[in-house]
Amino acid sequence: MTTITNRYEILFLYEARDCNPNGDPLDENRPRTDPETGVATVSDVRIKRTVRDYLLSLEPDVEKRLAAGREILIRDTLKPDGHLAQGEDRAEQFLDAAAKGKKGEAKRQAVQEAVVSGCIDARLFGATLPLGKTNPSLQLTGPVQFSAFNRSLHRVSPTLVQQTAAYAGNANANQKSFAERWLLPYALIAAYGVVNEVAARSTGLSEDDLGQLFAGLWQGTAALNTHSKLGHDPLLLVVAEYQSGYRLGALTQRLALANQRVEDTALRSTQDFELEVSALLAAWSAYPRLLGLHVMQDGRLRCRTGEETGDFGALARAAGLKVADLGL
């Protein structure tokens, strides 16, 4: 498949209700927040994990995933002795019999070729794998990068919830113990990403791979169903396509909430606000390197430009922008 030649920006908005969008394991797994502004933050690692888990769920057979180039490199695998594989062990799993005896640069090259041809997450996000003390490590810069922290568009209020546990707390207890977990009643999170066509030359990122990424963002977010993540719903995915070497930048900073019915921390659904997109559409309208927008939206999200309201695609077309449906 042909490697991408244009640059892209990704704007992805989703809501998280009564769940924990990204817990901090070093702070009692509290939802991550910015201590100065009180907004929720979600790491790029969490977003990439959502995409990886979704793509992994599409095909349970590892050999079929490899044959289709859809294996997931960054996932838990086991060594023959049953222990969890380390980075060097994972690299060895991609070497065939002819390549296992290679050393140095020849080994690194063999691993790189096997990884980028077989693993879609390596083509998307890059890879770093140690190959042993005497060999150079595999280091591939990923064409797709998300902001280190992706923020909610409003302040949030983390809440500690106590629940009855399934079992007693100790061997002599006659009652079940209590369990605690942190959650956010509501957060509208705006994630930002860039797809760099120059870095794509090293991994061979294709248009088809990008389609899988967009499906992973939308469908993968909707499919989150663990105890801490159930309550995620995608609302808006906009992919801006540019001429090679260009991007507008600062997309999330050109958004704001409008017509809020309640204070920030009391927001509970899309009925409580509208999304002001005037600044974003105006900036794109004035940017000659933009080739077009690709959009997917949940109808529950109401967008606004000045006095006009509607879905994002309609407002973008009214602003004179070229818009296509992502069709996810």
- Each residue's pLDDT tens digit, 59-79: 999 999 999 999 999 887 766
Average pLDDT rounded to a whole number, residues 125-142: 84
Q: Give the pLDDT confidence score for residue 169 in this predicted structure.
A: 52
- Given a contact cutoff of 8 angstroms between Cβ atoms, the answer to whether 220 and 50 are in contact is yes
Average pLDDT rounded to a whole number, residues 293-316: 97
Q: Identify the band that residue 176 occupies on the pLDDT scale cut at 50, 70 and 90.
A: low
Q: Give the pLDDT confidence score for residue 205 in this predicted structure.
A: 97
Q: Give the pLDDT confidence score for residue 108 in this predicted structure.
A: 83
Q: Identify the band that residue 162 occupies on the pLDDT scale cut at 50, 70 and 90.
A: confident
Per DSSP, which regions of the chain are E strands?
7-19, 23-24, 30-31, 39-43, 126-129, 138-141, 144-146, 149-155, 159-168, 176-195, 232-242, 256-258, 274-276, 290-297, 303-305, 308-310, 323-325
Q: Which residues are within 8 A (CB) of 188 and not within 5 positions of it... i.e. 6 or more apart?
A: 13, 14, 15, 152, 153, 154, 235, 257, 267, 273
Q: Identify the band that residue 110 occupies on the pLDDT scale cut at 50, 70 and 90.
A: confident
Tell me what the pLDDT averaged over the chain comes to: 91
Average pLDDT rounded to a whole number, residues 180-204: 96
**What's phi and psi for 174, nearest 5 deg?**
-105, -5
pTM of the model: 0.92
Q: Identify the band that residue 227 occupies on the pLDDT scale cut at 50, 70 and 90.
A: confident
Average pLDDT rounded to a whole number, residues 179-207: 96
Taking the C-alpha atoms of residue 320 and residue 316, their distance in angstroms, rounded to an integer, is 7
Q: Give the pLDDT confidence score for residue 83 in this predicted structure.
A: 67
Q: Give the pLDDT confidence score for residue 266 in this predicted structure.
A: 98
